[in-house]
Structure 1
């Protein structure tokens, strides 16, 4: 390749089997957003915050840091992006992506000489210029493999994925890039670095299998994801990293639980030597592996929480706090345990609404508040204030009739915490804050204020969101304004018409119908009264939609 020194280097790079850098990849980040810019920035910042919490110091640390640099670039933090890419180039001079990304930043900043130096350095590393010698030739496959692996990691962490189809496409792309990386580095990548890639690939296959289960896909379509995830996890269990081993045991237990969803046991279970292995034994091995490390235990607790194994998650949080009780250092354990208690209370509350259980245990809220009180002085942040506000909201309303006020002081405290949360950078972009503010105001009888909060929550929801509660709450508040005579019939009917149309664009139609069905079922006399007013006003299409939602054939 070095035979034509006059040939344009960038043209030669374009002909390569891979192109270093992140800014040419098929990432949503690199294209015009389909969502408002404000929401794109919110999602980018949230993704970056999540990545920083999970950032590792192991083999994939440069994959994480390159992606953090890309996030900084798209948040217009060019100096931060430059610093991140420059630090990678200093620590790992052979990192192809860092040099390409740094050159892109310099190009944006119109620092042409420095951008040209990055292109020159990149061409040397890739062997596009003569005079590299045998030493340069020997490490090129390793550099290429790491470049592709970092691309794979970035693909899995893309933003703006609004459907399971989008997620499936990105995960499949990422797995393909990891496979390509493994081919390039088959003789040069160390066993430990390869296992770090296997771990990330396994999590991707697990997510793909989970999405297939959600769609009730036939078992044969799930076999590839299921079987390969087991093969990869078996290899990860040989890792030197206690974190990888602990999480691999946990994920293995999860997959062995799923084997019963197949008509016959997948052969990978037997091929990998897990015939008769109890998932609980895997979870026990995970905890045993992590028992001396509070931060690995915190990661396990989050996985157990996600799996719905709340008792196990609380037990792991307790272990982490026994090792490291200081809330300033181990705030994540307190935060996770509080979140679990809130989740348990909300779960029981939903069961009450469906007539499936008795009154929820309000001690769960007391425990959650105690944990949040521990971390609020040392880790005041948007999430902590949001969680504390949510706890205070549930403390202020009845455990059975959620719209019934029992403690106005608690509701006022909730509103104060939400106001503090909104002072943070992303506070005014999170729909859940506006939803909870609206519910507080709804219980306090401030229906007009509640309506405005619910409208904001709907505007902030992502297109295709499964969380459509804000729409139901808005319909209930408008219905109350109509019945109480606090707003004119014309205004209420117009608002219902406008926001039903917006909801049909924002959410999936089955979600809209489900929320309308809930409103109709719980407020039938009021709905009939509103329907008569709509008929008088000539809004027959709207009445038809309401009647259809109550028809069992449309359930």
Structure 2
């Protein structure tokens, strides 16, 4: 019998010599690393990606379905749905028996299931296709380069759907790794691979890349090319969605600039264009993301750009709430902090402070630890102050609420970002904040007042002095 250690060394050497390694479970994606977020949040992100991929599978051309099914199987694996994962990879193997990733992924699943014979059979099939088996001459044929190109292209495709990236820089690294795999696929495939300008799926993918790179004019132009070829929203909903997203992003970018005094009022025509595109999609392909996007558009159509608490179109706000309610009815709707934030903002404008506060509390609960967007907490503080000033909350109730949620926010958000959000609340509601401080002092809560103001100021007192005194 062969020495196990020698066999392991031979195997390691063989893997080191390979120019590529089939399968999705070894890729340098955050998906394959130890999760940093709670299991419930990771499952939410996986299910959101899976929902979009299932829609894409119905429209994908035959060569791209394998790439989508590999991702669906990978997500199912990490959701502990092993039977579904196995079936996804088996479907690829049945349709394309020479697909390298299918056999590698199946071997991984069978290994987790403890089905050693099936695992060995898949590994043997993979070795034969790659020319690594003893009878390699009969297995490895002239199509080996095409198989390698497809394997690498499918892996590159997967990087665009990664979950768990903690920063834009981390996301950029993952995408760069995916592009490198595409480059290697092109070197293998040569003329096996051809990009066609008259294929909407290719154009739609290109438009998304332009959008992520910040080249918004090129993104819209590419979407227009795709829609010139195929205008039916039921068959080409991706082009409508991407074009709408570009318009939403442009409006929000201009809105932030004007709030900082760096430009004129944002062009509300962006909202009109986004609304027109999303209404086409929501008729034929409704889904969580579409409901959320169109709800956001109607929200901004319903409020004054500079003073969001001032309604300019009550009907638009009501329509926003309708779409947000539809999103909330879906399985993952209740898990999205951005949905709760938008719903809370709409309710505040309509004067429903208590219901709005409940939404903002849910935002804080749903935000990931380390989240750099504490807007939900700032809105919650504003809603609590509004309830207190309208005598809907007593001094004692307000004190307890602020105490509990400020401490929770400190555990959730980076100190610098929390300080900025509290400073925003201070500037916009100075009178109410001072009133809150007096109420807390009268309740015997000077420590909470000190904590609140020190967090707002974000500076230590000079030696020998106190940052705040009662």
- Mapping for residues 138-217 of structure 1, pairs under 5 Å: 157-164=161-168, 166-167=170-171, 170=174, 189-192=188-191
Tell me if the contact between 1:47 and 1:157 (Cα under 8 Å) persists in the aligned partners: yes
Q: CA deviation at 1:42?
A: 1.7
Deviates more, 1:385-394 or 1:148-157: 148-157
Change (3 A) 1:24 1:397: closer
Q: Which runs of 5+ in 2 are unaligned?
A: 462-466
Contact 2:423 2:457 in 1 (8 A): no
Answer yes or no: is the 8 Å Cα contact 2:195–2:202 preserved in 1.
Answer: no
Call closer, same or farther: CA 1:313–1:117 in 2, change over 3 Å.
Answer: closer
Aligned match for 1:106, one of 107, 110, 115: 110
* Residue in structure 2 matching 1:72, options 73, 76, 82: 76
Deviations 1:47-106 (CA, angstroms, capped at 9, x unpaired) = 345566778769887555433321122234434322332233345445444223213333
2:239 maps to which of 323, 333, 336: 333
| 1:241 equivalent among 169, 192, 195 | 195
Residue 17 (str. 1) matches residue 19 (str. 2): no
Q: Secondary structure at the match of 2:90?
A: helix
Q: Distance in 2 between matches of 1:437 and 1:550?
A: 37
2:227 corresponds in structure 1 to: 321
CA distance in 2, matches of 1:421, 1:506: 25
Give 1:527-542 correspondences, 5 Å limit. 527-536=433-442, 537-538=445-446, 539=448, 540-542=450-452
- Please tell me whether residue 404 in structure 1 is matched to residue 310 in structure 2: yes
SS in 2 for 1:41: helix
Aligned length: 452
Which position in structure 2 is the counterpart of 1:446? 352
State the match for 1:202 in structure 2: none
Contact 2:292 2:339 in 1 (8 A): yes
Shift of 1:138: 8.9
Relative to 1, partners in 2 of residues 1:43 and 1:9: Cα closer, same or farther, differing over 3 Å? farther
Structure 2 distance, partners of 1:177, 1:531, is 58
Cα distance change, pair 152–7 in 1 and its aligned pair in 2 (3 A): farther
Q: 2:43 is matched with which residue?
A: 41
Q: Distance in 2 between matches of 1:383 and 1:319?
A: 23
Deviates more, 1:441-450 or 1:531-540: 531-540
TM-score by length of 1: 0.68
Relative to structure 1, is the Cα distance of residues 339 and 165 closer, same or farther in structure 2, using a 3 angstrom cutoff?
Answer: closer
Q: Residues 5, 130 of structure 1: CA spacing in aligned structure 2 closer, same or farther, 3 A cutoff?
A: farther
Tell whether 2:324 aligns with 1:418: yes
**371, 378, 386: which is aligned to 2:284?**
378
Match of 2:366 in 1: 460
Q: In the aligned structure 1, how far is the partner of 2:191 from the partner of 2:272?
A: 45
Structure 1 segments unaligned to the other structure (5+ residues): 197-239, 243-289
Task: Let me know the Cα RMSD of the aligned residues.
Answer: 4.1
The 8 Å contact of residues 514 and 549 in structure 1, kept in 2 or not, is answered as no
Q: By how many angstroms is 1:439 displaced?
A: 0.2
**Maintained 8 Å contact 2:146/2:189:** no
| Cα distance, 1:311 vs structure 2 | 4.9
| C-alpha deviation, 1:405, in angstroms | 2.6
Secondary structure of the residue aligned to 2:243 is helix
Contact between 1:328 and 1:378, CA under 8 Å: does it hold in 2? yes
Match of 2:333 in 1: 427
Q: Distance in 1 between matches of 2:207 and 2:460?
A: 42
Contact kept, 8 Å, 2:145 with 2:189, in 1: the verdict is no
* Secondary structure at the counterpart of residue 377 of structure 1: helix
Return the TM-score normalized by structure 2.
0.79
Superposition deviation, residue 32 in structure 1: 5.1
